[in-house]
């Protein structure tokens, strides 16, 4: 037996090239290690949890308040307990390292915001949730991004904020800033109120009256352009008689 082992040892010391061509030469693969169930980073979390579970396993609590008080006492004991290999405790390390490095909380709490796209109407307003907000009149017919929070609305054009308003939940209302209004509407003379009213009267007298009422009930007539143009678009899909009948019913209400 000893002689056989010696022969095998000598053969194993020979290089692979010196072995006969029929001897299979393979490199043994190491045995894979078992997977680690818990990574090293989970130890600071699992150790306090296990300590609390063991300390309170024989206690009976009749309310969440009693449980929280018992946990607070155990945490205080755990944080002040000295380490085995370091001459300090968790509380001392927190006071000397973590606490001086803390930063102050933000002045304003985080606000969730929704984003959407909207096109500026010819009355330099964008419609968001059935409410209209003004933007600089130079952006008429441009498309911008709307940032919505529970209290504010911001309009961004080419990643630059061009308007900011307090959000309103009044359907059909207008929020307009004087600075957004043009000094002159010469660039948009084709959209004057008189021309829109004459255009509406071609469909019928009641259509013209409804458009006139819409324009007059707005703080600024230009704010009614979008609604008036919406009525006129109905003439493309329906007959003038049907549009006239609908406008008559709207005036009766």
First to last CA, the chain: 113
Compute CA distances 177 → 108, 136, 181, 204, whole Å.
Answer: 26, 9, 7, 35
Residue 26 has φ and ψ, to the nearest 5°, of -130, 150
pLDDT at 37: 56
pLDDT at 131: 92
pLDDT at 118: 94
pLDDT at 167: 94
Question: Which of these, 212, 182, 210, lies nearest to 195 by C-alpha position?
Answer: 212
pLDDT at 187: 47
pLDDT at 30: 66
pLDDT at 83: 86
Helices (H), the chain: 2-13, 43-55, 64-80, 90-93, 99-101, 193-201, 205-216, 225-237, 240-252
How far is the C-alpha of 139 from the C-alpha of 162, rounded, in Å? Answer: 9
pLDDT at 247: 87
Q: In 10 A of CB 137, how many CB atoms?
A: 21
Determine contact, residues 180/137, Cβ cutoff 8 Å.
yes
CA dihedral 200, 205, 211, 215 (to 10 degrees): 120
Domain ranges of the chain: 114-178, 186-252
Mean pLDDT by 10 residues, the chain (253 residues): 56 50 54 63 70 87 92 90 87 91 87 93 89 92 93 94 94 86 58 78 86 79 73 83 86 81
pLDDT at 105: 85
Q: What is the pTM of this model?
A: 0.44
């Amino acid at each position: 037996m000893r002689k056989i082992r010696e022969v095998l040892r000598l053969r194993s010391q020979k290089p692979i090239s010196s072995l006969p061509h029929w001897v299979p030469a393979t490199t043994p693969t190491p045995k894979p290690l078992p997977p680690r169930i818990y990574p090293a980073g989970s130890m600071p979390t699992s150790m306090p949890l296990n300590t609390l579970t063991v300390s309170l396993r024989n206690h009976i609590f009749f309310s969440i308040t009693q449980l929280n008080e018992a946990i607070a006492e155990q945490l205080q004991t755990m944080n002040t307990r000295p380490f085995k290999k370091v001459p300090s405790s968790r509380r001392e390390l927190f006071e000397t390292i973590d606490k001086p490095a803390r930063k102050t909380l933000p002045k304003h709490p985080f606000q969730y915001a929704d984003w959407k796209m909207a096109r500026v109407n010819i009355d330099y307003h964008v419609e968001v949730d059935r409410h209209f907000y003004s933007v600089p009149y130079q952006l008429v017919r441009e498309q911008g991004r709307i940032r919505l929070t529970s209290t504010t609305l911001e309009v961004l054009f080419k990643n630059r904020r061009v308007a900011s308003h307090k959000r309103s939940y009044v359907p059909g209302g207008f929020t307009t800033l004087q600075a957004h209004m043009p000094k002159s509407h010469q660039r948009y003379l084709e959209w004057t109120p008189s021309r829109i009213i004459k255009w509406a009267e071609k469909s019928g007298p009641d259509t013209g009256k409804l458009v006139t009422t819409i324009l007059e009930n707005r703080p600024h007539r230009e704010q009614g352009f979008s609604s008036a143009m919406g009525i006129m678009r109905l003439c493309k899909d329906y007959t003038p008689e049907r549009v006239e009948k609908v406008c008559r019913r709207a005036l009766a209400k």
